[in-house]
Amino acid sequence: SLTSAAGPNNPVGVIWNGLSKSGIGIHGTNNPRTIGRAQSAGCIRLSNWDSVRFPNFARPGAIVEIR
């Protein structure tokens, strides 16, 4: 499901794009320097700009394959 986070000061940035596994998602960040580094329990961090655009490419129910 796609649900919004609190905002730009939230560790997951401005939006949380939840995946089918509980607690795992594709989201923004309040600290862009952490993008591309192991900082979480399996989530994928994007820029806030890209995390807001993500739902345009992956609608609810779409299969997301992470390689």
| 35-57 tens-digit pLDDT | 988 887 788 999 999 999 998 98
Q: Confirm whether 16 is domain-assigned.
A: yes
State the catalytic residue, choosing from 14, 15, 43, 46: 43
Say if 42 falls within a structural domain: yes
Region 2-14: what's the mean pLDDT?
72
7 vs 23: which has the higher pLDDT: 23
**Any domain includes 64:** no
Strands of the 44-45 sheet, one edge to the other: 2-3, 16-18, 25-27, 44-45
Of residues 1 and 16, more confidence is placed in 16
Q: Is residue 62 one of the residues assigned to a domain?
A: no
Interacting residues of 12 by C-beta distance below 8 A, sequence separation 6+: 5, 25, 27, 28, 29, 43
Is 43 assigned a catalytic role? yes
Give the CATH number of the domain where residue 37 resides.
Answer: 2.40.440.10
Q: What is the mean pLDDT of residues 8-32?
A: 87
Q: Give the mean model confidence (pLDDT) for residues 3-30.
A: 82
pLDDT on residue 51: 92
Structure-token pair, residue 17: 């794009």
Domain that holds residue 41: 2-56
Alpha carbons 51 and 54: distance in angstroms, whole number: 5
Residue 6 lies in a domain: yes
Catalytic hit among 14, 25, 27, 51: 27
Instruction: Give catalytic status of residue 27 as yes or no.
Output: yes
Please count the structural domains in the chain. Answer: 1
The answer to the question of residue 61 being in a domain is no
